[in-house]
């Protein structure tokens, strides 16, 4: 027979140590039985005792695998709360899962009532542990999920084409109001941040290139470098990234919230095609406004470079501007603007598709919004690379 | 016996490969207040989504007015739907919500639409609320506004998903009175999902009870009939236990 008792002594006496389970107030007496063990519990079993009780229960659980029966006698328990009851019931169900019979005996009516309330009388079901997916199953699941997403994208595309065709035949049925709202929110409201960021990009580019070019006496070429990189690449790309963060995320979250709050279903029951009513206006609004933002970005980016040239390289504004006009061709600006229109389309379509694919409440909205932003950023870089190759080949 | 407005035969209800109801068959007669009831997770709302046309049945048939499943999108609404949360468009005022389908599907001038919107809002006891945003309304008012929107296109059939869920007893009772008034006064056929016993007895004329375990309809009849006569233990428990709580 082995036994151990937790002395009901206060070492520190403060509540912190009680909460930490350092000073258990309950008693725990273990008696070996021919086919198992009996645990005699005594004293108060309250939330303060839970850490120490949990430790005892875990030890008991680990040592009980070779046993067939565990009896927990609550005769000495003076009080018990829900937390400790839950731990005892958990012990029983864990033992059951290991095919060890566990029973609660004794205890005051109040103790028995609480154990009963927490399912103590219910016969615990032996849990069948779900085997973890092996590598093949995980790959299989991921592939199925990928195909399901692909089907969802194809379905979205088909419906969008249908909605666009309907709108072409009935232009008065297009949601013109939302086009205006989108242009205002994604365009006018975004102009300050687009201008600030692109100005700083032009400024930093100008500064970095000035440091190098100054060494060779090629100061004036700062204008060439800034002008070409801003109009061809940085202006459209930085603008698209800002629009992705501001508007793409907003589209995905807005449509996702509408989806989970049944507003999209309500639209359908009123006869509306959600893609025609919700997606097309956003797509058109963005495709119209982002090229304008890009032109603005080009202008302020060049201004940023000009400021650096004037302040650090002693180049006059007129000379800088003249060099910019000499080197930046209309094609450079046009190709950037064209690219920004395609970027805008990608942002709107991906954000709306992700938004309308939302399910599962607030968590689903967050997940889809994150997914929309990541997918858009990846697509922007991919599209930019394709454009660089194609426009490079087409350049006059 | 009056004519069946909705005829459902051998319908399988579920999400993807998860089947909630293996085979449901029932009729809803014109002018009826038909209640779909049952415990949580038994497929009440999913069955309603199939009836509305938001989910497509892979097995079984639904026929409304003898012309097959209802058509969604691209046509004026054939019936009204009130969703559990109301599902008012949050970016629009209450008036814009109610007049939304009228603006899309009719050639009515704005003044006429405004007049209809006012009348519909008055019908549900929301006079003067047309300029308010859904966020400014209480739960009960949102549901009333949603009913007004559902009624805007003069439907003969109204679907209600848990109309009294989340409402205080007074608001819930007022909503029940409104449903009765719409049914009796306008001859509307109402199909509603609920598990509120008080509403079932006050409003319902016929009901079916779904069961999660057997994935079937376990009872059908008038609420009082089911309460008094049903031999099924789950039906008995459902009607008598809740009655005792109240």
Q: Is residue A394 packed enough to be buried (19+ CB in 10 Å), middle (13-18) or exposed (0-12)?
A: exposed
List of domains in chain B: 4-79+155-245 (3.40.50.300), 89-153 (no CATH)
- Number of helices (H) and strands (E) in chain A: give both, helices first: 16, 4
Judge whether residue B246 has pLDDT over 50: no
**Measured distance CA(A261)–CA(A257) in Å, rounded:** 6
Q: Please tell me which residue, A21 or B114, carries the higher pLDDT value.
A: B114
Report the pLDDT value the prediction gives residue A128, as an integer from 0 to 100: 61
Pick the CATH number of A15-117 from 3.30.930.10, 3.40.50.10440, 3.30.750.24, 3.90.1150.10: 3.30.750.24
Range list of β-strands (E), chain B: 4-15, 18-29, 33-38, 61-64, 80-82, 157-161, 189-193, 206-211, 216-221
Tokens 């599209």, located at residue: A383
Give the global pTM: 0.77
Nearest by CB: B77 against A263, A269, A273? A269
In A, which residues are within 8 Å of B105 by CB distance? 271
**Measured distance CA(B222)–CA(B206) in Å, rounded:** 4
Residue A166 contacts B where some CB pair is shorter than 8 Å: yes
Alpha-carbon gap: A174 to the closest alpha carbon of chain B (Å):
10
Read off the tokens for A64.
Answer: 């009980």
Beta carbons of A295 and A337 less than 8 angstroms apart: yes
If you average pLDDT over residues B123-142, what whole number do you get?
Answer: 89
Residue A272 contacts B where some CB pair is shorter than 8 Å: yes
Nearest by CB: A269 against B81, B84, B105? B81
In B, which residues are within 8 Å of A271 by CB distance? 72-77, 101, 104-105
Kindly state the helix (H) or strand (E) to which residue A45 belongs, with its residue range: strand A36-45
When scoring A262, A277, A278, A365 by the number of chain B Cβ atoms within 10 A, the one with the most, hence best to mutate, is: A262
Strand order in the sheet with B206-211: B80-82, B157-161, B189-193, B33-38, B206-211, B216-221
Inter-chain contact B83–A262, Cβ cutoff 8 Å?
yes
In A, which residues are within 8 Å of B77 by CB distance? 269-271
Minimum CA–CA partner of B105 in chain A: A271
Inter-chain contact B104–A262, Cβ cutoff 8 Å?
no
* Reported ipTM: 0.87
Q: Where are the alpha helices (DSSP H) in chain A?
A: 15-19, 50-63, 82-97, 109-117, 135-169, 176-183, 191-215, 221-229, 235-243, 249-260, 263-269, 274, 280-312, 317-327, 330-356, 361-394
In A, which residues are within 8 Å of B49 by CB distance? 265
**How is A78-107 classified by DSSP, letter by letter?**
EEE-HHHHHHHHHHHHHHHHTT-EEEEE--
Strand partners, A59: none
Residue A170 contacts B where some CB pair is shorter than 8 Å: no
Read off the tokens for A226.
Answer: 């800034």
In A, which residues are within 8 Å of B75 by CB distance? 271
Range name among A180-189, B7-16, B232-241 with the lowest pLDDT average: B232-241
Q: Is residue A138 packed enough to be buried (19+ CB in 10 Å), middle (13-18) or exposed (0-12)?
A: exposed
Judge whether residue B244 has pLDDT over 90: no
Nearest by CB: B87 against A266, A271, A273? A266
Q: Where in chain A is the domain with CATH 3.30.750.24?
A: 15-117
Minimum CA–CA partner of B155 in chain A: A270
Report the pLDDT value the prediction gives residue B245, as an integer from 0 to 100: 43
When scoring B73, B84, B97, B103 by the number of chain A Cβ atoms within 10 A, the one with the most, hence best to mutate, is: B73
Report the pLDDT value the prediction gives residue A129, as an integer from 0 to 100: 62
Q: From first to last of the 396 residues of chain A, give the pLDDT tens digit.
A: 444 444 444 444 455 555 555 567 888 888 888 888 888 998 888 888 888 888 888 888 888 777 788 888 988 888 888 888 888 888 888 888 888 888 888 888 888 888 888 876 666 565 566 777 888 888 888 898 888 888 888 888 888 888 888 888 888 778 888 899 999 999 999 999 999 999 999 999 999 998 888 888 888 899 999 999 999 999 999 999 999 999 999 999 999 999 999 999 999 999 888 888 899 999 999 999 999 999 999 999 999 999 999 988 888 999 999 999 999 999 999 999 999 999 999 999 999 999 999 988 888 999 999 999 999 999 999 999 999 888 878 776
Inter-chain contact A270–B100, Cβ cutoff 8 Å?
yes
Alpha-carbon gap: B16 to the closest alpha carbon of chain A (Å):
12
pLDDT digits (tens, 9 = 90+) for B117-127: 999 898 888 88
Report the pLDDT value the prediction gives residue A118, as an integer from 0 to 100: 80
Alpha-carbon gap: B98 to the closest alpha carbon of chain A (Å):
11
């Amino acid at each position: 027979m082995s036994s151990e008792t937790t002395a009901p002594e206060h070492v520190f006496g403060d509540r912190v140590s009680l909460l930490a389970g350092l000073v258990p107030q309950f008693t725990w007496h273990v008696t070996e039985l021919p086919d198992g063990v009996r645990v005699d519990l005594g004293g108060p079993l309250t939330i303060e005792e839970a850490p120490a009780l949990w430790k005892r229960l875990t030890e008991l659980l680990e040592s009980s695998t070779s046993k067939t029966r565990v009896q927990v006698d609550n005769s000495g328990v003076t009080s018990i709360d829900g937390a400790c009851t839950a731990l005892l019931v958990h012990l029983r169900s864990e033992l059951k899962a290991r095919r060890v019979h566990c029973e609660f005996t004794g205890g005051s009516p109040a103790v028995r009532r609480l154990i009963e309330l927490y399912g103590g009388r219910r016969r615990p079901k032996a849990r069948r542990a779900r085997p973890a997916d092996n590598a093949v199953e995980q790959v299989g699941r991921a592939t199925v999920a990928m195909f399901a997403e692909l089907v969802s994208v194809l379905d979205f595309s088909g419906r969008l084409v249908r909605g666009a065709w309907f709108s072409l035949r009935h232009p008065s049925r297009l949601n013109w109001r939302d086009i205006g709202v989108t242009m205002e929110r994604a365009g006018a409201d975004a102009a300050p941040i687009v201008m600030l960021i692109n100005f700083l990009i032009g400024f930093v580019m100008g500064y970095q290139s000035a440091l190098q070019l100054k060494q060779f006496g090629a100061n004036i070429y700062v204008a060439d470098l800034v002008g070409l990189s801003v109009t061809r690449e940085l202006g459209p790309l930085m603008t698209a990234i800002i629009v992705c963060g501001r508007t793409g995320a907003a589209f995905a979250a807005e449509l996702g919230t509408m989806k989970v709050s049944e507003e999209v279903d309500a639209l359908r029951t009123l006869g509306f095609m959600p893609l025609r009513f919700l997606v097309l206006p956003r797509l058109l609004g963005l495709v119209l406004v982002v090229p304008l933002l890009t032109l603005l970005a080009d202008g302020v980016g060049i201004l940023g470079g000009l400021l650096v040239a004037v302040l650090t390289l002693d180049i006059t504004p007129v000379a800088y501007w003249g060099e910019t006009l000499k080197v930046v061709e209309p094609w450079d600006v046009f190709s950037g603007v064209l690219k920004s229109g395609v970027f805008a389309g990608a942002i709107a379509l991906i954000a709306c598709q992700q938004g309308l694919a939302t399910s599962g409440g607030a968590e689903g909205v967050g997940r889809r919004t994150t997914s929309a932003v990541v997918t858009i950023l990846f697509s922007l870089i991919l599209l930019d690379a394709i454009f660089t190759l194609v426009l490079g080949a087409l350049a006059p | 016996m009056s004519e069946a407005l909705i005829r459902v035969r051998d319908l399988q209800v579920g999400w993807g490969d998860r089947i909630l109801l293996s085979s449901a068959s029932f009729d809803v007669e014109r002018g009826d207040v038909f209640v779909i009831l049952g415990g949580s997770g038994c497929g009440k709302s999913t069955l309603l989504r199939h009836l509305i046309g938001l989910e497509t049945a892979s097995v079984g048939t639904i026929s409304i007015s003898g012309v097959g499943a209802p058509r969604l999108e691209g046509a004026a609404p054939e019936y009204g739907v009130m969703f559990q949360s109301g599902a008012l468009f949050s970016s629009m005022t209450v008036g814009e919500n109610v007049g939304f389908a009228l603006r899309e599907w009719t050639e009515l001038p704005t003044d006429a639409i405004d007049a209809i919107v006012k009348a519909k809002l008055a019908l549900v006891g929301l006079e003067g609320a047309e300029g308010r945003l859904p966020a400014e309304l209480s739960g009960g008012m949102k549901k009333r506004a949603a009913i007004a929107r559902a009624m805007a296109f003069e439907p003969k059939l109204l679907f209600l998903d848990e109309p009294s869920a989340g409402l205080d007893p007074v608001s819930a009772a007022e909503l029940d009175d409104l449903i009765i008034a719409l049914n009796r006064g306008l001859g509307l056929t109402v199909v509603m999902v609920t598990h509120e016993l008080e509403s079932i007895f006050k409003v319902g004329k016929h009901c079916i009870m779904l069961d999660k375990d057997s994935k079937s309809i376990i009872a059908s009849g008038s609420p009082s009939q089911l309460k008094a006569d049903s031999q099924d233990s789950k039906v008995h428990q459902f009607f008598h236990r809740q009655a005792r709580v109240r």
